[in-house]
A and B are shown apart, each in its own frame.
Chain A
Amino acid sequence: MVDGNSGKEGGKEGITRRRFALGMLSASLAGAFGSLLALLKVLAPEKKGGGYATTILPGDVLVYAQGGSAGAPIMASSMKVGDAVLAYPTGKSLNPANLVQLIKLEETAFKPPTDISLTDQGFVAYSAICTHLGCTVSWAASAASPAASFTECYCHNSIFDPAQGAKVMAGPAPVPLAQIGVKVMQDGTLAFASDFDGPIGPQV
Chain B
Amino acid sequence: MVFKWLDERLELKKFKEKFLSKTFPTHPAFLLGETALFSFVTLVATGIFLGFLYEPSTRLVSLFGAMVPAAYASVVKIDLLPMGLIIRRIHHWSAMIMIAAILAHLLRIYFTASYRKPREINWLVGLSLWGMTMVAAFTGYLLPYSQFSVTATSIAYYVSKSVPWIGDWSSRLLFAGDFPSDGTVPRFFFMHVMLIPATLIGLISLHLLILIKQKHTEPRSNRDRKEAQGGRKLIGIPIWPEQGAISLSFFLFLLFVISLMAAYIPLNPIETYGPPSPGTPVMRPDWYFLVIYGFLKLVPGDLVFTVLGGKITPETIGGVIFPASNFIAYALVPFLDRSKEPQHYMENPLHRPFMTSLGIGAIVFFCMMVVAGYIDVLHITPKAMTVYALVATAAAWSTSYALLRRYNRKRGNNAKA
Contact = CB atoms under 8 A, between A and B. Distances in A.
Nearest to A136: B280
Contact of B167 (A66, A99, A174, A204): A204
Contacts of B293: 156
A179 interface: no
B291 to A, nearest CB: 14
A47 B177 contact: yes
Contact of A66 (B277, B318, B382): B277
A85 B139 CA distance: 32
Contact of B296 (A96, A137, A156, A204): A156
Contact of A43 (B173, B280, B298): B173
A155 B151 contact: yes
Given A44-B172, A133-B315, A157 B297 contact: yes
B301 A174 contact: yes
Interface string A32-69: 00000000100111111011000000000000011000
A134 B167 CA distance: 16
A183 B314 CA distance: 36
B178 A48 contact: yes
B280 A138 contact: yes
B315 A135 contact: no
A88 B297 CA distance: 28
Given A65-B278, A155-B280, A171-B297, A134 B178 contact: no
B314 A96 contact: no
Interface residues of A, number: 40
A203 interface: yes
A22 interface: no
Interface residues of B, number: 43
B255 interface: no
B155 A134 contact: yes
Nearest to A50: B178
A4 B180 CA distance: 64
Contact of A154 (B181, B282, B314, B315): B282
A170 interface: yes
B103 interface: no
Contacts of A155: 151, 155, 280, 283
Contacts of A154: 280-283, 376
A68 to B, nearest CB: 13
Contacts of A46: 172, 177
A153 B299 CA distance: 15
Nearest to B157: A134
Interface string B297-338: 111111010000000011100100000000000000000000
Interface string B175-217: 0111011010000000000000000000000000000000000
Given A47-B178, A99-B278, A155-B280, A132 B314 contact: yes
Contact of B314 (A43, A134, A174): A174
Contacts of B180: 96
Given A45-B183, A47-B177, A154-B376, A170 B155 contact: no
Contacts of A134: 154-155, 157-158
Contacts of A153: 280
A44 B161 CA distance: 13
B399 interface: no
Contacts of B65: none
A167 to B, nearest CB: 11
B394 interface: no
A65 B375 CA distance: 29
Given A135-B154, A135-B280, A138-B279, A172 B296 contact: yes
B162 interface: yes
B278 A66 contact: yes
B381 interface: yes
A172 B314 contact: yes
A140 B58 CA distance: 32
6 contacts: A46-B177, A48-B177, A153-B280, A154-B282, A173-B301, A204-B167
Given A88-B278, A96-B180, A136-B279, 13 more contacts: A47-B172, A136-B278, A138-B281, A152-B376, A154-B281, A155-B151, A156-B293, A168-B301, A172-B318, A174-B301, A174-B302, A204-B161, A204-B167
Interface of B: 151, 154-155, 157-159, 161-162, 167, 169-170, 172-173, 176-178, 180-181, 183, 277-283, 293, 296-302, 304, 313-315, 318, 375-376, 381-382
